[in-house]
Structure 1
Amino acid sequence: MARIENVTAFTDLYLPTINGVTYTVDLWRRYWSRRRGRMAVVYPGEDGYEPSSDEFPIRSVRAPLFSNYRLGTPTAPEDLAVPDLVHVHTPFTVGYAGRRFADRHDLPVVASYHTVLEARADRVVPRPFVRGMQRATRAFERWFFETVDCVVVPTAYAREHFFESVGADTDVRIVTNGIDTDFFRPVDVGAFRSRHDLPTDRPLVGYTGRHGYEKNLGELIDAVSGMDVTLVLAGDGPARVDLEDRAAGADADVRFLGFLEREDLPAFYSSIDVFGFPSPVETQGLVALEAAACETPVVAVDAGALQDSVIEGETGYRYPEGDLEAFRTALRLSITENDRLSSLCRRRRSMFSVDHAIDQLVTVYDELA
């Protein structure tokens, strides 16, 4: 079988922006170089980030409707070497440039399906236009993904949703995103707890990540109301002000830590007793894997990819969306069974690793060669 050595990834989302897509692209880039060859990355350039020799920023402007993101010009850098394969991570301007680049050089193309775009429609357009926006999104995605040789998705749920919602007639494979288990592991938490003045006399329930409305974090605040726990919310996003107002009216001790630097995340996960994850729109939910790799059980909504990512009774528990009493029961159970669940999380760490993801990626790439 032929081997794919050099890959070029095209992505509309990349560093210094921090989210699941940027994390995965950067992680794959670094680990691919250890295993095979080179994985160059083409992305919208932004001031304040110094690229390495295999990162190729292109001109960009602030994205309309999403001020935190950049919109790159749909072109490939002139000095970009021709690889063995193109991997497109997003279906927007830079992703489109990747498709054109692959066509020009007659290269195989893999595309990742990272995000359920239609779930964000109500945050982009007024309510009367949401259904029209969702239909347009599905039609665009169907067109885009039918032009590639293979689509990779991180979970079985994402694969099922892809066929049901996008409906593209193409080859779809499961390739887990993976996490860096050398980095995400149990660590000493004394300094972190002290710096953020976290209590030691009661269990801690926590969440870190984007504070978006689609993440449904208000349900987590409602669930801990009346419980003898402290809820610790790290991260930031458009819903934060509303969440702070909701927490102020709740019968709960809720702490907002704000954005945490990446090097603080293992200490955050290791500090909390349970990771609460009520988001029903995940295609994998990397933060759930990061928490479990730090041996912290997860209580997640029984929806989306979290049905696959959280193993019932092993890495945590799931509850029906909107059922606050079931949410509280699962939280209490995870606190009571913390030692047992932590031990099972430790046994599952190899399944979460990026090395496992690269093994799967190698198979997909080489088959296309």
Structure 2
Amino acid sequence: MHVVMFADQHLESLGGAQVSMRLQKRFLERAGHVVTVVAPRLHRPASDDPAYLDLPSIAITPDREYALTWPGARTDRFLDAEMGARLPVDVVHVQADFWGAFIGHRYAARHGLPVVHTMHNRVDVGIEATAPFPGLVLRALNAWARRALPAAGSRSGAQPSARRDPGSAPARGEDGADPRDPASSPSAAPSSRVDGWAFLHRLARLSRAVTAPSGHFARRLEQHGVASAVDVIWNGIDDDVLDAALAFGPSARRSGRPRFVWLGRMSPEKRLLPFLEAVAASGIDAEIEVIGGGAQLAAARRFVGRAQPTAAVTFAGRLPYAETLARLADADAVVQTSIGFETQGMTVFEAASLGTPAVVSDPDIAAELGGGVWAVTDATVPALAEALRRAAADIAAGSPVRPHPSIAERFRQSSRTAAMVGVYERAVRAGR
């Protein structure tokens, strides 16, 4: 099977969706499938891969980490010309929410190909956290979608019934509508709406199947009328890295102060600065390692310099995937601080697979993990500080919470890839 994936950002750029897609690509290739990844060209050096089809792009962030490709006739012509030598294609897998989604759905409509759309992003929460006038941005985004996306009638077949993946809890909120068609739900977003859910609905109605990386996000998609049936397929962890980490078996904890890791993109919705405020307010005597990069790095360093917390805070920068997982395995706990934004929360699942528990701010993520968490009671800095104190005390006493042992097997990328291939096959069959 030849799978063409579309992304908003190059797979070698920083981000959880990109990490997930790189793993998906590698394990699909390992299973004998052919993968092409279409994304904007990266504006910094990166490893080359013949599976990457880079589109002309412009950098959109000061660090040149992220880029934009404008969806339109010129991009369509470039893509069709570049894809000529890679034909035939069996299925299009859109894992984008903006220009990558528009480009992918346009390509599928031109060539009559089935689309599987994975929704990684809470568009409404992300825009509210990062844009000064979110309502205006969402209105403009919906207007852009109306102009850039093909008409719903151009899709090659209705969405088949979703099947629940055993790797996660089933989504809820079924409403009795035709499960083959995401546009048939009584609660489907009407064309006059201009919120984030209406925007995602515009993408779902062009797809044969819609997937989400967690049960809680799938439930929200269904309840808000984005699609009437959503397959739940977790993003996974590299089997080889997991096996290497687990081969050593349970090990004694290194002596010393409790060790916490915060990992992610340093942008407002990830709440790095509130985390550092909570570290200072908690007074914990611990080692805090912050892994990642982004626009708030300088502000984070300045805050630590001013606050002088009792804990020792270090900034490790961006690390290779295997090294990041090694740091998670060595930590006493990982700290997850975004609320309402994450559609899965990869970091805490990776950590849990390695036996590392988590301090979790988002109640949906805490529920999805099913154990091994110190839950933060609300969105305030004092509540996060209190959770850090509880975690540090438990770790120092030798009685930390423990993740559920089944997560390591349920989170393997090989099992996630097998589940997604089943969705691909169902989408292809539905058009025959």
Q: Per the shorter chain, which TM-score range?
A: 0.7 to 0.9
Question: d(CA) in 2 for partners of 1:293 and 1:101?
Answer: 37
Query: CA deviation digits over 1:144-169, x for unaligned, max 9?
Result: 2222111100111111222345x324
Question: d(CA) in 1 for partners of 2:273 and 2:418?
Answer: 38
Shift of 1:125: 3.2
Tell me the TM-score normalised to structure 1 length.
Answer: 0.84
Which residue in 2 is equivalent to 1:183? 241
Which residue in 1 is equivalent to 2:284? 227
Question: d(CA) in 1 for partners of 2:124 and 2:274?
Answer: 21
Is the Cα–Cα contact under 8 Å of residues 361 and 375 in structure 2 kept in the other structure?
Answer: yes
1:201 and 2:256 correspond? yes
Is the Cα–Cα contact under 8 Å of residues 273 and 338 in structure 1 kept in the other structure?
Answer: no
Tell me the TM-score normalised to structure 2 length.
Answer: 0.73
1:350 and 2:353 correspond? no
Which residue in 2 is equivalent to 1:213? 268
Is the Cα–Cα contact under 8 Å of residues 44 and 72 in structure 1 kept in the other structure?
Answer: yes
- Report the AA paired with residue 24 of structure 1: S
Choose the corresponding residue for 1:145, options 164, 185, 204.
204
Structure 1 vs Structure 2: percent identity of aligned residues?
A: 23
SS of the equivalent of 2:326 reads helix
* Compared CA separation, residues 293 and 333, structure 1 to 2 (3 A): farther
Choose the corresponding residue for 2:109, options 103, 124, 129.
103
Shift of 1:223: 3.6
Question: d(CA) in 2 for partners of 1:236 and 1:25?
Answer: 19
Which residue in 1 is equivalent to 2:16? 20
* Compared CA separation, residues 222 and 239, structure 1 to 2 (3 A): same
Is the Cα–Cα contact under 8 Å of residues 11 and 41 in structure 1 kept in the other structure?
Answer: yes
1:173 and 2:231 correspond? yes
* Compared CA separation, residues 8 and 331, structure 1 to 2 (3 A): same
Is the Cα–Cα contact under 8 Å of residues 320 and 326 in structure 1 kept in the other structure?
Answer: no
Which residue in 2 is equivalent to 1:192? none
Question: d(CA) in 1 for partners of 2:228 and 2:308?
Answer: 48
* Compared CA separation, residues 108 and 286, structure 1 to 2 (3 A): same
Is the Cα–Cα contact under 8 Å of residues 12 and 93 in structure 1 kept in the other structure?
Answer: yes
Which residue in 2 is equivalent to 1:195? none
Shift of 1:96: 1.6
Shift of 1:87: 0.6
* Compared CA separation, residues 32 and 68, structure 1 to 2 (3 A): same
Which residue in 1 is equivalent to 2:183? none
SS of the equivalent of 1:228 reads coil
* Compared CA separation, residues 228 and 124, structure 1 to 2 (3 A): closer
Matches within 5 A, 1:75-86: 75=76, 76-80=79-83, 81-86=87-92
Cα RMSD between the aligned structures? 2.8
Query: CA deviation digits over 1:2-33, x for unaligned, max 9?
Result: xxx22111112223202111111111111012
- Report the AA paired with residue 16 of structure 2: G
Which residue in 1 is equivalent to 2:216? 157
- Report the AA paired with residue 226 of structure 2: A
Which residue in 2 is equivalent to 1:258? 317
Aligned residue-pair number = 349
Is the Cα–Cα contact under 8 Å of residues 158 and 305 in structure 1 kept in the other structure?
Answer: no
Matches within 5 A, 1:358-369: 358-368=417-427, 369=429
Question: d(CA) in 1 for partners of 2:370 and 2:6?
Answer: 33
- Report the AA paired with residue 358 of structure 1: T
Choose the corresponding residue for 1:68, options 65, 69, 73.
65
* Compared CA separation, residues 334 and 293, structure 1 to 2 (3 A): farther
Is the Cα–Cα contact under 8 Å of residues 51 and 57 in structure 1 kept in the other structure?
Answer: no
Gaps of 5+ in 2: 139-193, 249-253
SS of the equivalent of 2:93 reads strand
Is the Cα–Cα contact under 8 Å of residues 175 and 361 in structure 1 kept in the other structure?
Answer: yes
Which residue in 1 is equivalent to 2:351? 291
Is the Cα–Cα contact under 8 Å of residues 91 and 114 in structure 2 kept in the other structure?
Answer: yes
Question: d(CA) in 1 for partners of 2:264 and 2:385?
Answer: 24
- Report the AA paired with residue 39 of structure 1: V
